[in-house]
Amino acid sequence: MGRTLAEKVWDAHVVRRAEGEPDLLYIDLHLVHEVTSPQAFEALRLAGRPVRRPDLTLATEDHNVPTSDTLLPIADPVSAAQVEALRKNCAEFDIRLFPMNDPGQGIVHVVGPQLGLSQPGMTIVCGDSHTSTHGAFGALAFGIGTSQVEHVLATQTLPQRRPKTMAVTVEGDLPPGVTAKDLILAIIARIGTGGGAGHVIEYRGAAVRGLSMEGRMTVCNMSIEAGARAGMVAPDETTFAYLAGRERVATGAAWDEAVAYWRTLASDPDAEFDREVVIDAASLTPYVTWGTNPGQAAPLGSRVPSPQDYDSPAVSASVERALSYMGLTAGTPLSEVAVDTVFIGSCTNGRLSDLRAAAEVLRGRRVAQGVRVLVVPGSMRVKAEAEAEGLDEVFEEAGAQWRSAGCSMCLGMNPDTLRPGERSASTSNRNFEGRQGPGGRTHLVSPAVAAATAVTGRLTAPADL
Amino acid sequence: MEAFTTHTGRAVPLRRSDVDTDQIIPSDWLKRIERTGFGAGLFSAWRADEAFVLNNPVYSGATILLAGPDFGTGSSREHAVWALQDYGFRAVISARFADIFRGNALGNGLLPVQLPAPTVEALQTAVEGDPNVEITVDLVAREVRGAGVTASFELDDFTRWRLMEGLDDVGLTLRHAERIAVFEGTRPAWSPTAS
């Protein structure tokens, strides 16, 4: 029987297989940031163990870093100490680090791809659940905890149980105005926050083939919000064109050899998935979340649901609780929900094409009175590229704030947060209670919807401006 | 890692589904570089509400968390496990766990016990009726007993053995260092390096 993409990548990385035990997988790339690594480095020190492959390890400062006044010392002493700990650890263990203000610095899941480090067929891990982003290249990429960060630092391997496989096939083409973000929100709404549990999802079909690499990264990024271990897209010409010429990618005969291997990775025609879901792209419209988990999403053209719409008492209770936290009334058109803040950025939607999509909507328009708009590029390179195109001027002329790179308001570990009761339209990935600041209320949207919302002050699709 | 064989204690019912790790330990706590002291931050946003179940004194000292389905979704933060353990929990029982949380829990000796939703609900109801009822989580027999319930749960032999011995994965893997070196010799020459 044929094998799926995930199974091929898995099989190519098994260092040791023993009956009844998890497979020991070799890890090709380990990405590190300041939040989930200090305890792992400390454990290495206590055990007197070195980092096995510093050359396969890359660190960046992203979660804590301020996105304004970045030349000043970090004001929060706890954040500053954590960033300082990463610098000391990287120096001690000889790991390449992109510190704040370095032109290479950025969100870990933006930095890997832009360097060409994230490549088809690789195993990639990071102490961050959105590591699934790198699956867009046909890599097997997944988030790990700090004990596993320690394990990879010490051994360059991880013991892992073989996951199940799931195909999500998106047939047809996305209608105009419907983006990768809308697609993944619709997929999560369909299969639920636990729908992918124990599985690696492979996204397939014409609509996925038609996405740019950056769009594929947006889709794979949010696989974890469906509970999946990882998300993947088989590499194709779009992948190779993105990679060619990037800093860490092979050239000449080695490039040809790599591409020849990458072409073998696609799932075999007779491969069987443990579960298959089919989505009709033509039926999709811009999506937004209304609740407190990413599965609680609906078309922007619809209304806030009612707890009574659901048969299961447990689901009803969860919807009721979500509406109460969000301060929403069942039956309200989503397009009438007013926001205080718009956040454009994150590892989900902080890349150049995302900023272009938002700028396209904001060009020649003004941000609504009283709405705060933060535009935070995913990396310093994205920032420089956007500025070279004049996007910073488009944002600033519209009344938005143009910031430096980092995770920023996606999780509010730096000074960019919502105040209690404030409501945002956010291009990030999680609308959990308090995610963007205690008491804050988050609606997940695409960059285009975020920009249109900035103009009107309520959830708005660009087509309705 | 502390070994786990069998544990008997009182339990606290948390009747919420999709409890994400941002709720278990909010991100402000993630700035710390230590591995201990996270118990004070456990469910800190929810504990601000007096009516939250962990604030009910009848459940104080409980060591088993009876959670709703899809527990531990979202962020990979192992701090969620450290917070539950630091607060005093030894086991969490739920109808389904998020994969990363489950892996983190098993790596630290916090036992994630998966039981069918109706069984978890029966345990929650029993504990709500009598908060002093004791529940036994028996890893040796792979069984939960108490409150009129006897239910077996699944856990593979290898993981069970590792938990019962209190072994950490790094030490186990380093026994295979030679195999790792052999594998490294077979990687394609064009494999990228970070530096």
Give the nearest partner residue to B170 out of A151, A248, A258, using CB atoms.
A151
pLDDT, one tens digit per residue, over B169-195 is: 999 999 999 999 999 999 999 999 998
Find, in chain A, the residue whose alpha carbon is nearest to that of B158: A21
The DSSP bridge pattern shows strands A341-344 and A372-375 to be parallel
Write out chain B residues lying below 8 Å of A157, CB-based: 173, 180
Q: What is the mean pLDDT of chain A?
A: 97
The pLDDT value recorded for residue A126 is 98
CA distance B11 to chain A (A): 21
Count of residues making up chain B? 195
Give the nearest partner residue to A145 out of B33, B103, B180, using CB atoms.
B103
Q: How confident is the model at residue A407 (pLDDT cuts 50, 70, 90)?
A: very high
Give the nearest partner residue to B192 out of A129, A227, A248, using CB atoms.
A248
pLDDT, one tens digit per residue, over A357-367 is: 999 999 999 99
Alpha helices in A73-145 (DSSP H): 77-93, 108-115
Residue with tokens 């529940």: B135
Region A54-70 average pLDDT? 96
pLDDT, one tens digit per residue, over B15-72 is: 999 999 999 999 999 999 999 999 999 999 999 999 999 999 999 999 999 999 999 9
Neighbours of A254 (CB within 10 A): 14
pLDDT, one tens digit per residue, over A231-274 is: 999 999 999 999 999 999 999 999 999 999 999 999 999 999 99
Q: How confident is the model at residue B1 (pLDDT cuts 50, 70, 90)?
A: confident
Find, in chain A, the residue whose alpha carbon is nearest to that of B105: A145
Instruction: Report in angstroms the alpha-carbon separations of A338 from A183, A330, A357, A421.
Output: 23, 15, 22, 12
Instruction: Report in angstroms the alpha-carbon separations of B120 from A221, B53, B98.
Output: 32, 16, 16
CA distance B153 to chain A (A): 17
More confident of the two residues A313 and A257? A257
State the first-to-last Cα distance of chain A, in angstroms, to the nearest integer: 52
What percentage of chain A carries pLDDT values higher than 90?
99
pTM beyond cutoff 0.95: yes
The answer to whether A146 and A37 have CB atoms below 8 angstroms apart is yes
Write out chain B residues lying below 8 Å of A82, CB-based: 31-33
Question: Is B31 within 8 Å of A82 when comparing Cβ atoms?
Answer: yes
Each residue of B108-144: b (16+ CB within 10 Å) or e?
A: bbbbbbbbeeebbbbbbebbbeebeeebbbebeeeeb
Rounded CA separation B64/A318 (Å):
23
Question: Is A82 within 8 Å of B32 when comparing Cβ atoms?
Answer: yes
3-state secondary structure at position B5? coil
Give the nearest partner residue to B194 out of A63, A117, A435, using CB atoms.
A117
Classify burial at B174, counting beta carbons within 10 Å of its beta carbon; exposed 0-12, middle 13-18, buried 19 or more: middle
* Interface with B, mutate which of A14, A15, A243 (most B CBs under 10 A): A15
Classify burial at A164, counting beta carbons within 10 Å of its beta carbon; exposed 0-12, middle 13-18, buried 19 or more: middle
Does pLDDT of A1 surpass 90? no
Supply the DSSP symbol for A352.
H
CA distance B107 to chain A (A): 7
CA distance A96 to chain B (A): 6
Question: Is A159 within 8 Å of B173 when comparing Cβ atoms?
Answer: yes
* Interface with B, mutate which of A147, A166, A264, A325 (most B CBs under 10 A): A147
Find, in chain A, the residue whose alpha carbon is nearest to that of B35: A39
The DSSP bridge pattern shows strands A96-98 and B143-146 to be unpaired
Q: Which amino acid would we find at residue A77? A: P
Query: A357 CB contacts (<8 Å, ≥6 apart)?
Result: A179, A446, A447, A448, A451
Question: Is B78 within 8 Å of A96 when comparing Cβ atoms?
Answer: no
Give the nearest partner residue to A127 out of B22, B76, B81, using CB atoms.
B76
CA atoms within 13 A on the CB side of A361: 26
The pLDDT value recorded for residue B195 is 86
From the centroid of its chain, how far is CA A119? 17
Q: How confident is the model at residue A175 (pLDDT cuts 50, 70, 90)?
A: very high
Question: Is B192 within 8 Å of A151 when comparing Cβ atoms?
Answer: no
Rounded to 5°, the CA angle A363-A369-A370 comes to 120
Write out chain A residues lying below 8 Å of B99, CB-based: 197-198, 227, 229
Does pLDDT of A11 surpass 90? yes
Question: Is A36 within 8 Å of B76 when comparing Cβ atoms?
Answer: yes
Rounded to 5°, the CA angle A184-A188-A191 comes to 135
pLDDT, one tens digit per residue, over A131-168 is: 999 999 999 999 999 999 999 999 999 999 999 999 99
Classify burial at A457, counting beta carbons within 10 Å of its beta carbon; exposed 0-12, middle 13-18, buried 19 or more: middle
Rounded CA separation B110/B93 (Å):
11
Instruction: Report in angstroms the alpha-carbon separations of A85 from A64, A207, A408, B23, B192.
Output: 12, 44, 20, 26, 27
Region A58-73 average pLDDT? 95
Q: What are phi and psi of B181, to 5 degrees?
A: -65, -40
The pLDDT value recorded for residue B2 is 87
Find, in chain B, the residue whose alpha carbon is nearest to that of A131: B76
Q: What single string gives the DSSP state of each residue in A141-170?
A: EEE--HHHHHHHHHHSEEEEPPPEEEEEEE
Question: Is A56 within 8 Å of B172 when comparing Cβ atoms?
Answer: no
Question: Is B20 within 8 Å of A412 when comparing Cβ atoms?
Answer: no
Rounded CA separation A146/B34 (Å):
12
Question: Is A193 within 8 Å of B18 when comparing Cβ atoms?
Answer: yes
Neighbours of B87 (CB within 10 A): 18
Does pLDDT of A327 surpass 90? yes
Question: Is B31 within 8 Å of A154 when comparing Cβ atoms?
Answer: no
**Dihedral Cα B157, B158, B159, B165, nearest 10 deg:** 100
Question: Is A248 within 8 Å of B103 when comparing Cβ atoms?
Answer: no
* Interface with A, mutate which of B100, B120, B156, B167 (most A CBs under 10 A): B100
Q: Which amino acid would we find at residue A445? A: V
Question: Is B190 within 8 Å of A81 when comparing Cβ atoms?
Answer: no
Residue with tokens 């020849």: A260
Region A379-407 average pLDDT? 98
The pLDDT value recorded for residue A33 is 98
